[in-house]
Amino acid sequence: MTKRIISLVISVMMVFAVLLFAVSCNPDKKTETTATDKKTDVVTTEEQTETETVTETEEQTTEIAELTGYEKMPDHEDVDFGGMTFLIASYAYDDQDWANASEFWVESITNDAINDAVYDRNDVMSKLYNCKIEVDDGGWNNGFNASVASGDGRYIAGSTACYGINGVAKSGNYYNLLKLDVDWSQSWWDQNYINDSSTDGKLFGVVGDFSIHTMSATWIMFYNKDVYESKFSDIDIYEMVRNRQWTIDAMADFIDKIKNDANGDSEYTFTEGADADTIGMMTTAHNDRGLYFASGLRYVTKTEQTTDGSFVTALTNQPNAVDVIDKLIQVCNMPGYISGGYTNVQKAVQNGTTLFAGEVMDVLRRMAGADSLRVGVLPQPLFDETQTDYHCYVNNQASILVIPTSFSDMSILSDFLTLFAYHSSKLVRTAFVNTYKYTYASDEDSAEMVDIILNSRVYDVGYINSFSTDMDGYISSMISNRKNQYVNAANKFSTAATAKIDEYRSALMAVDDNY
């Protein structure tokens, strides 16, 4: 009996152990299903995420693909000008280097990058928007004003020298552009021109990425790379620009170290002989103005830096102006800094007898054919490293686009201006910058420098509109005479400048916006 009980207990225990082992090695169906479902869910989610990521990436790639300017402008796909011809009058300068008809129309492809970009822009607009662009070469000087006054609507726009904008604004024959249905905040419009030249909500001319000659009229510095590398090969001057270490003092240090009295006469002069001195800077008297503006100073500023701000003289409201003039007197009278004629600037760079040159950007184009010439491009220097922005002033030979009220179809006008500037930004400005990078200058970094320069342009209306011509000349006089009388001069000339500003603003207030 006892043995039977013991055997029974052992049997029960063995059955129980088998059952326990089975449970531990083989989970119930609910647990197994849950685990399997989880595994399936993870795989499905990963596959879906991968698929979604690929799809999103493809969509994003499509959305952010770089627009080339050869396709229609986004949100303007439905524009059709119905075969219209848009005629623009150019300005005839005495100096053919400044003739600007080629900003608007060229006859054919010539394998010149900028010429061909203008041709392409017009061809693209013709094909995409069913229109034609033509230029009346020199029309501003011959027939344009009569056409505008008659109201015949023949011209959609005209281009004039920026020093002529004063008369344009007062005439009443041109639109206040700020009232047009155009988004002037877009990058293809020069924001510095819009801000510098607008007053009391009025603006009668504009600069855009089609404005080749305004880009070319920007005052810059450039340097002979062979001369530079003979002494400073271990210094990256472009990195100095990027780090805002490119200052007047830095420029002066380069000038001092590079100068070489080759003929032993204890003087540093510009000559073209075999024993010519090496000088640090070759420029003209206009560089005085260039360094003044580059230091962040102005002749005329505004009550607020918006299009609603009003012009006011800046001459007596610049605490560091005396320090700037002191610095310019010191640097511009250094041995090795020479201010001379226009042609000497180009000669000194080409002959390798100067390190730096100060002139308008167009001089680089004029030197493009010089054999073995290697040049780099620089903005005008900062006053010191606390200055946050570079400033390169625009010469008053620049071209400004104005719109006559005789062209009355506002919808067509707004579309044309927007599309013309947009496609110019993709084609013309790109070609301009790349031409300096590959043709006029001699290194990759020059394209970046040109962009810095173009984005830091100064359009001082005191200089352009001749509100402060007396002070303009007096600055050069103080520098050459080495006598800083800025405070007295500013007090003296600000009265006349203020009177001219007030007269101009009053005339503009009397002009109807023409809508």
The confidence score (pLDDT) of residue 495 equals: 94
Q: How confident is the model at residue 184, as a pLDDT?
A: 97
493 within domain boundaries: yes
DSSP lists the bridge partners of residue 89 as 136, 158
Half-sphere exposure of 220 (CA within 13 A, CB side): 28
| Size of the chain, expressed as the number of residues it contains | 515
Q: What would the two tokens of residue 106 be?
A: 């060229």
On the 0-12 / 13-18 / 19+ scale of CB atoms within 10 A, 99 is middle
Q: Looking at the 3D structure of the chain, how many domains does it have?
A: 2
Question: How high is the pLDDT of residue 32?
Answer: 37
Is 42 among the domain residues? no
Query: Residue 296 region, left (φ>0) first, then alpha (ψ -120 to 50), else beta?
Result: left
* pLDDT given at position 47: 45
Count Cβ atoms within 10 A of the Cβ of residue 224 and give its class: 0-12 exposed, 13-18 middle, 19 or more buried: buried
278 with 357, same domain?
Answer: yes
| pLDDT for the residue numbered 124 | 98
Same domain, 169 and 266: no
117, 428 contact by CB (below 8 A): yes
- Residues 181 and 99 reside in one and the same domain: yes
> What distance in Å separates the CA atoms of residue 116 and residue 426, rounded to the nearest whole number?
13
> Cβ neighbours of residue 130 under 8 Å, at least 6 residues apart?
80, 81, 82, 83, 84
State how far the Cα of 246 lies from the Cα of 220, in Å rounded to an integer.
13
Residue 429 within any structural domain of the chain: yes
The residue type of 169 is A
Query: What span, in angstroms and rounded, lies between the C-alpha atoms of 302 and 202?
Result: 13
3-state secondary structure of 112: coil
Say if 6 falls within a structural domain.
no
Give yes or no: residues 244 and 342 share one domain: yes
> Domain span at residue 167?
84-215+397-440
Residues 138 and 179 in one domain: yes
- DSSP H helices, 321-468, are 321-332, 342-351, 362-366, 410-435, 445-454, 461-464
Question: From CA 270, how far away is CA 463, in angstroms rounded?
Answer: 29
Given this model, what pLDDT does residue 62 score? 46
Tell me: do 338 and 372 sit in the same domain. yes
Give the residue carrying structure tokens 């061809």. Answer: 123
Cα 484 from Cα 504, distance rounded (Å): 30
Q: 133 has which bridge partners?
A: 86
**Quick check: is 383 in a domain?**
yes
If asked whether residues 246 and 318 sit together in one domain, one would say yes
Query: What is the pTM assigned to this prediction?
Result: 0.85
Phi-psi region of 399 (alpha: psi -120 to 50; beta: other; left: phi over 0): beta
Same domain, 435 and 349: no
Res 512: pLDDT: 74
Element (H, E) at 86: strand 84-89
The CA distances from residue 128 to 70, 86, 134, 420, in Å, are 9, 15, 16, 12
Residue 28 lies in a domain: no
pLDDT of residue 264: 85
Q: Pairing state of beta strands 337-339 and 354-360? A: unpaired
Token pair 């004003």 is found at 145
* Antiparallel, parallel or unpaired: β 392-393 and 457-458: parallel
CATH number at residue 180: 3.40.190.10
Cα–Cα distance for residue pair 222/356, rounded to 1 Å: 6
Asked whether residue 211 is domain-assigned, the answer is yes
Within a 10 A sphere around the Cβ of 104, how many other Cβ atoms?
26
200 falls within a domain: yes
Same domain, 464 and 362: yes
Same domain? 231 vs 369: yes
**Cβ contacts of 396 within 8 Å, gap of 6 or more:** 161, 162, 163, 463, 464
The rounded average pLDDT for each run of 10 residues, N- to C-terminus, in the chain (515 residues) is 37 36 38 35 43 48 75 97 98 83 96 97 98 96 91 95 87 93 97 96 96 96 96 97 98 96 87 88 96 98 95 95 98 96 93 96 91 94 97 94 95 97 97 90 92 96 92 94 96 94 91 68
Structure tokens belonging to residue 312: 């006011």
d(CA 178, CA 198): 9
Residue 353 · residue 279 · CB < 8 Å: yes
Check whether residue 244 and residue 152 sit in a common domain.
no
First-to-last alpha carbon distance for the chain, in angstroms, is 122
